[in-house]
Structure 1
Amino acid sequence: MGGRRLSCICNNLLLSSSSIKELQLPLSSKMSGSSERISGLYKELSQFPSVSCAYIGPEVTTPNGSKYCNVYTEWWQRDLDRSRHLRFCRQYNVFHNGRSVGNIVPAGTCMEIQGELLSRESPSGALRAVLRSTMVQAEEKEFLEIWHRSRRIKSLNLTALDKHGKVFSDDQFGCLQWSHSETHLLYIAERKRPKTESFFQSKAPELSSSITEEEEEEEEEPGDFCNFRKGDQFVLHEDWGEGLVNKSVPTLCVLDIESSNISVLEGVPDYISPGQALWILDDSGIVFVGWWHEPFRLGLKFCSNRRSALFHLNFSSSYCELISLDTKAVCSPRLSPDGRHIVYLEGDVFGPHHQCLKLCMYNWHVKTSLTVLDIVRKPKTGFSGIYTTALPLLCWSADSRRVLLHTPQRSRKDILIVDTETGAVGPLTADSEEGSWTLLTIQRDLVVVSYSSPNCPPSLKIGFLPSAGKEQEIVWVCMEKAEPFQDIKWKTLTFQPPDIQDTPKYDGLTCESLLLLPCHPLEGRLFPLIVSPHGGPHSSFDASWQLFAAVFCQLGFAVLMVNYRGSTGFGQNSIESLIGRVGEQDVQDVQFCVEQVLKTEPLDSTRLALFGGSHGGFLCCHLIGKFPGMYKVCAVRNPSVNYVSLIGSSDIPDWRYSAIGFDYTYGQIPLPDALTAMITHSPITSVGQVTAPVLMLLGEKDKRISAWHAMEYYRVLKSRGIPVRVLWFPDNHSLFTVEVEADAFVNSALWIIQNLPSQTAAGIL
């Protein structure tokens, strides 16, 4: 970190007392204080924030004729002292001439955002809506607030109004959209459920005997008994799985700003769950995505392959019209500034749970859709397809012709610009700094982006979008700058797997790895290497700031992050090549990348460690079983170890079939051939060859990969006398809560250091 390094040491260790108590293996004298060293570095590097959203306010002309606009940004960082994610905002005054950015002046200091779940500026910038969660008399309450310039003009206690359940603030369903007239607000909430009670609940004493016989008979009608939900308090309400727990039946809600009346919209078909809604230009209706939840719900988070379509709900007729194909999976409808077109993403149902997507456009006047950008099977130019999970909320240029989006392009995330009339596409950030770019917003052709790289935390940049055909001339001006770490270097490595590992249908595919290295070897020694395959498997590492990798590098490790064939960003052929070959092709790719990098880089082949989560943990468990003795230690987060035992315990059972090359249908019955293939592809089959010590980090609330299913792997290792340790966290699949994430990382680093050959301890700490 050069001169920037802080000399901070945590006053209180991030490790829980129970975790420390479980560390039975003694550390050498060289390792004394290693936990303080690791936790101190982790705390130091976790203080670099990431920007999550930006909004550009209305244009203001000063008395002297100059122009400026206010740019509002929201950031987040890990607050280890309070064990939560800290959210704060910062504003800037950006002076410009309509074509280029001049001076940028921060408007005050950062300010913490407390309790905000969602917030949106109105189209004119005069109003702001805020969904806030707060504790009132030890109970959580939700409030919807309307702010006008410097004061709050309205605050509605949604919990007390009891029109619906909790409001959805997630990225999957959630929305908070102003009507163009700024008189109404659209949002999504859980449908209100009938109250339930026990069969044996005592009734309140009767206060009057004046009820007529007719009224008594009316109360006892069978229909009323069904609506009363007596004895239904333990009925299962299906939710949408991992990351969307307790989100079952979303409903569309509209707030009338003037009257404060909330309407729960009718007309949405019962077989779909609505979300991602937006107003059409004249406010006479809305367009939304509807996900089919019949015959039952499958996990939706990170899965862009769930049957869904675009619907138009007309307010005057309450008629809900299907406006896209109903045999596909769609998301992210975005209305053009002139109101004539809606762009959205479209993919296939089932198969790989994330894949290359089409960019489609619906013409509001002629009521038809067309494909703007098709799926890219095998990239032949610089463009390798669209793999983003969502389009930015504001992504259109002012001329309503061009669309901007960010997406993985091999091992880098680029911002692309698409001409919707010609289908021409190119990277807006092609000639910019090496790293990864994220589009935050574009308004009036003023573009706000975030940039980072493996050795540089996120920074904020802004620039004016040039006219069509000249986009490469964009000039980025830095609003918040982060300096790169001078003692970390990185590179992208491309590998061509051997022909023998190819399949005829998908030959010639490559894989890549991001390699991080400390700049100076300690005492001339070779670096120990931590190998980290990503999860998914249909996701990828991009060349962005990675906290874990940066801390490992500061500790003296080299880190290899592997994008094997099947990763997103490399074409649809690459994704499909992994189907039916999980546990084979991906394992071969990781091993091949490791073998090649050991030949060319200053790495110690006797000190190799594995670190991965989910499908990355699946690969780590395969590698220590198939190459015993090569990898000296392994730490895995919620690993998938046995596809068979996951069929009935995972929220995505369809993937267990798709991964091994079988088609999935609702009501699938596991037959012997499928079960045989599942167990054959699983790392549990090679656990008998494992010799490396294994640390397992499990989330007890994980709905994607049950924590209990991993205990099968643990018990086999335990019975064979292999050093194995389990940390059982009160968290879900991602292990992303601040306290859990920190504890999991420090324990992983300690486990790796402790179980590598002894010279590692002297070399690293």
Structure 2
Amino acid sequence: MVQLKHSGPNASTFFNELFELPVPTTGTFDGPNLNVLRVAYSFRDRERKAKRSQTKTFFVPETQEAISTSSFDSTDVLASVVSPSNQRRALLREVSDDKGKKRIVEIWFGSRLEASLDVTEKHEEFNTDLFLSTLSFSPSETALLYSAEAKLDKSTFEGGKADPFDKFRFTPHAGETMYTKKRSTIYLFRWANPGDARSTILPTRTKNDVSLSVLKPVETPAVPVLFGQAVFASEDRIIATGYEYTGDGKLMGVKFCYNKPTALYELQLGPEEKKDDSNTEKSEDKKDAPKLPTVAARVATRLTPPERTVRTPRVLRDENGAATHLFWLSNALGGAHNASATLYSKQLASDASGGQDGEAKALVGPVAEPEPGAFPGIFADDIAQRGFLRVGDTTQVVISSGWGARNTVLLVDASSGAVKELTPSVKGEPQVSYGLLCTDGRNRVVCSRHSPTLPPEVVLGTVDAKGGVSWKVIDTTVVSTELDDALKGLEYSVVPITGRKSVEAIHIGPKSSATDDKKPYSLLMPHGGPHANSMVTFSYLAASFALDGYTLCSPNYTGSTGYGENFVQGLIGNCGSLDVEDCIAAARHFNDQGISENGKWAIWGGSHGGFLTGHLIGQYPDFFRAAILCNPVISLGEISTSDIPDWYYAECGLPFTPATLMTPEMYAKLWAVSPISYVDNVKTPALLCVGEADKRVAPTQGIGYYHALKGRNKVVEMLTFPGETHAMDGVECAATWYEATRDWIRAWTS
């Protein structure tokens, strides 16, 4: 029997180089004239087994061509934001020394440190994820909102001042990758009085001049809420996203699930309540929660209706810095976890008028059935921090969104809702993807531009008064001459699948030759989600396989995003059948087109892609020579530890409420559409890779499948990774499961 055996560190010619390539993640303009651009890059350091960050600084004056750059390691900077005047920058920093980790909040005015505070003993880790994070300057630039995990005050229990059971009382967490987030709290950091002129540099502040307060609502919302994504609308008015607990006490997993109970809330700041000094310095245990002063915050009426969800509120300001409008993305509550988003706006009452806000207005809604090549609706995670441009006499909201098999950048007229694509495909040329990094709030955008054969390059676009854009490449990914030549030997295309409505597949592989007698092995790679998609983006994983000689087929099956709302919703109630049929149809179409060859297929999939892999090797046992399943969904009825239990019901067309219990009838239906029901048919040698800390798909799903296969004398191996979550993206873990995948395929296809 062939077993998994490592073929050596250099078994893939280009994997190590591809694995460590830097990826641009965010950008910011700053400086009084917005002529300084900082771009952050993330990269994997395999030697240190750690992810690291680097920031490059570019000088980008609008009237000159010259661009000078410098770079520095920014691994200890977890998050940053530029102030409304562009003169200040706030940093959340985490540094390590011989005593452990320290957390520091810093305010910089140009190159001068204006204020800082060591908050290590004030709270636990900063929240810097997309969902619970907050980082917002007040209009006067004398205060900063940020989010962190509150400490549990052990002294109140040990001193007999509280019910000792409260120390152990169950508190839900925020789900996948955020299972340490239970008490996400918004903090208010002040270093000056609001009356101080924001354009004048303040004297350097010491710890005696600054204050840190907890934002504490004095009126409890109707349901328990965790607040995040808070932004200042005025000096005393804050708009925040509230993540609401369900009726059965759950806090549903929020990561990339936009159908969960959320709402916009208004918090009105009151006076700061002074801390009780008699209780603050007596504890010997420095791990006790400090007695921070609180700022009373009145919770206004819920700003959005209960049948809608919300995310990333963004405030538009006029040339004087006054807030004029609020924008946010919204989805329907329940159903598909990532469907078309609606962009909403509402006019904000000015401080001087004291009037009422305007009514919420839907600027752009879902597109049910887009015409071929037409706008398919908004498929986006967020609106950028400074997500606005001035184009002629109009204000445009800038959104990075999926459009078919690519990512693009949209301009949405803030008044009319008219949509224009800023980065359209060029007819006759291969499709490329653009990812928005930042805007200057005026007429410039910065994007990463890439494709399956083009590593990311950073491009600066200048938008004219008519919405046209001219691009300048300001940074490219440096690769070896050998890798550059090898990537030029690859080709890719987007292939429509005959007989499957709107279904496409991305083909990547070595350039074909008329003299080729034998075709290479093909690898079917269905994406996860299921409401996500495969795109023409640069991926070290896809590039590594293609450079190793494989032909890749990545289908966008029914349920994928970027093809209109009906295509997303078409999977609901058809999970485990329609998506499976689309995937096998894509592979067969590649055979029919002469791209691939029957009998020379392997398959790899993670999450819902693992679900599809289990189905395909069970329903088509003679089609694939090798299979790899990463954190797969195997049995839909066994869902007890998922942070999104509604997913399993919704995808199969079953109702779900906080009172829902699994019944024998429900279980029978879920069993019938699960890969486990086909386990007896499996012939394909299967490798399972499982993250032991996965909160989205219980590790028991993959482990149970391993035992089911092994108990039936099937060929199966499994690797498990302690501490790894659903994505299994730790540096050592990601490198290991790629190499295991490579060696498993080679073992069964050579």
Pairing partner for 1:297 from 234, 251, 258: 251
Query: Which moves more between the two structures, 241-250 or 397-406?
Result: 397-406
Query: Which moves more between the two structures, 439-448 or 675-684?
Result: 439-448
For 1:415 and 1:104, the matched residues in 2 are separated by: 26
1:436 matched residue in structure 2: 433
Do the aligned residues in 2 keep the contact of 1:284 with 1:314 (CA within 8 Å)? yes
Do the aligned residues in 2 keep the contact of 1:195 with 1:229 (CA within 8 Å)? no
Amino acid at match of 1:95: P
1:320-361 deviation line (CA, Å, top 9, x unaligned): 222222331000111113221111111111111111110110
1:366-393 deviation line (CA, Å, top 9, x unaligned): 4310100011111136100111111111
Amino acid at match of 1:480: D
1:347 aligns with 2:331: yes
- What SS is found at the alignment partner of 2:531? coil
Distance 1:353 1:383, change over 3 A: same
For 2:11 and 2:163, the matched residues in 1 are separated by: 54
Q: How much does 1:79 deviate?
A: 1.0
For 2:170 and 2:2, the matched residues in 1 are separated by: 43
Q: Where in structure 2 are the equivalents of 1:510-529 lying within 5 Å? A: 510-519=502-511, 524-529=517-522
- What SS is found at the alignment partner of 1:575? helix
Q: How much does 1:584 deviate?
A: 0.2
TM-score calculated relative to the size of structure 2: 0.86
1:164-192 deviation line (CA, Å, top 9, x unaligned): 44321111110211112111011112234
1:549-594 deviation line (CA, Å, top 9, x unaligned): 1000010001111110100111111111101111100000000011
For 2:578 and 2:615, the matched residues in 1 are separated by: 12
1:497 matched residue in structure 2: 499
1:54 matched residue in structure 2: 27
For 2:586 and 2:443, the matched residues in 1 are separated by: 42
Distance 1:235 1:320, change over 3 A: closer
Pairing partner for 1:307 from 234, 238, 261: 261
1:327 aligns with 2:307: yes
1:274 matched residue in structure 2: 227
Pairing partner for 2:134 from 166, 175, 188: 175
For 2:66 and 2:269, the matched residues in 1 are separated by: 44
Pairing partner for 1:41 from 6, 9, 14: 14
Q: How much does 1:304 deviate?
A: 0.3
Q: Where in structure 2 are the equivalents of 1:711-730 lying within 5 Å? A: 711-730=703-722
For 1:176 and 1:297, the matched residues in 2 are separated by: 23
- What SS is found at the alignment partner of 1:713? helix
For 1:140 and 1:431, the matched residues in 2 are separated by: 46
1:582 matched residue in structure 2: 575
1:105 matched residue in structure 2: 67
1:265 matched residue in structure 2: 215
2:596 matched residue in structure 1: 603
For 1:42 and 1:497, the matched residues in 2 are separated by: 36
Distance 1:368 1:37, change over 3 A: same
Query: Which moves more between the two structures, 173-182 or 228-237?
Result: 228-237
- What SS is found at the alignment partner of 1:228? coil
1:94-138 deviation line (CA, Å, top 9, x unaligned): 1323xxxx4141232x21113111112223333222111223444
- What SS is found at the alignment partner of 1:644? coil
For 2:580 and 2:739, the matched residues in 1 are separated by: 27
1:668 matched residue in structure 2: 660
TM-score calculated relative to the size of structure 1: 0.85
For 2:721 and 2:582, the matched residues in 1 are separated by: 31
Amino acid at match of 1:711: I
Do the aligned residues in 1 keep the contact of 2:104 with 2:120 (CA within 8 Å)? yes
Alignment gaps of 5+ in structure 1: 1-22, 28-32, 61-67, 204-224, 499-508, 759-765
- What SS is found at the alignment partner of 1:625? helix
Q: Work out the percentage of aligned pairs sharing the same amino acid.
A: 27
Flag the structure with higher helix content.
1
Q: How much does 1:146 deviate?
A: 2.2
Alignment gaps of 5+ in structure 2: 193-208, 271-295, 350-356
Pairing partner for 1:465 from 463, 466, 475: 463
- What SS is found at the alignment partner of 1:533? coil
For 2:114 and 2:422, the matched residues in 1 are separated by: 41
Q: Where in structure 2 are the equivalents of 1:337-416 lying within 5 Å? A: 337-338=317-318, 339-365=323-349, 366-380=357-371, 382-398=374-390, 401-416=395-410
Do the aligned residues in 1 keep the contact of 2:406 with 2:432 (CA within 8 Å)? yes
Q: How much does 1:249 deviate?
A: 2.7
Do the aligned residues in 2 keep the contact of 1:454 with 1:544 (CA within 8 Å)? yes
For 2:134 and 2:690, the matched residues in 1 are separated by: 32
1:242 aligns with 2:176: yes
1:449 matched residue in structure 2: 447
Do the aligned residues in 1 keep the contact of 2:4 with 2:717 (CA within 8 Å)? no
Query: Which moves more between the two structures, 565-574 or 141-150?
Result: 141-150
Q: How much does 1:234 deviate?
A: 3.8
For 2:303 and 2:231, the matched residues in 1 are separated by: 14
Amino acid at match of 2:687: L
Q: Where in structure 2 are the equivalents of 1:538-553 lying within 5 Å? A: 538-553=531-546
For 2:17 and 2:151, the matched residues in 1 are separated by: 45
RMSD: 2.2
For 2:242 and 2:499, the matched residues in 1 are separated by: 41
For 1:489 and 1:682, the matched residues in 2 are separated by: 35
Distance 1:623 1:347, change over 3 A: same
Q: How much does 1:684 deviate?
A: 0.1
1:25 aligns with 2:3: yes
For 1:361 and 1:652, the matched residues in 2 are separated by: 29
Q: How much does 1:147 deviate?
A: 2.5
Do the aligned residues in 2 keep the contact of 1:323 with 1:367 (CA within 8 Å)? no
- What SS is found at the alignment partner of 1:622? helix
For 2:664 and 2:2, the matched residues in 1 are separated by: 43
2:237 matched residue in structure 1: 285
For 1:707 and 1:266, the matched residues in 2 are separated by: 37
For 1:557 and 1:136, the matched residues in 2 are separated by: 46
Amino acid at match of 1:103: E
For 1:616 and 1:44, the matched residues in 2 are separated by: 26
- What SS is found at the alignment partner of 2:742? helix
Pairing partner for 1:614 from 597, 607, 630: 607
For 2:464 and 2:338, the matched residues in 1 are separated by: 33
Query: Which moves more between the two structures, 730-739 or 391-400?
Result: 391-400
Distance 1:59 1:115, change over 3 A: closer
For 1:78 and 1:239, the matched residues in 2 are separated by: 28
Distance 1:641 1:197, change over 3 A: farther
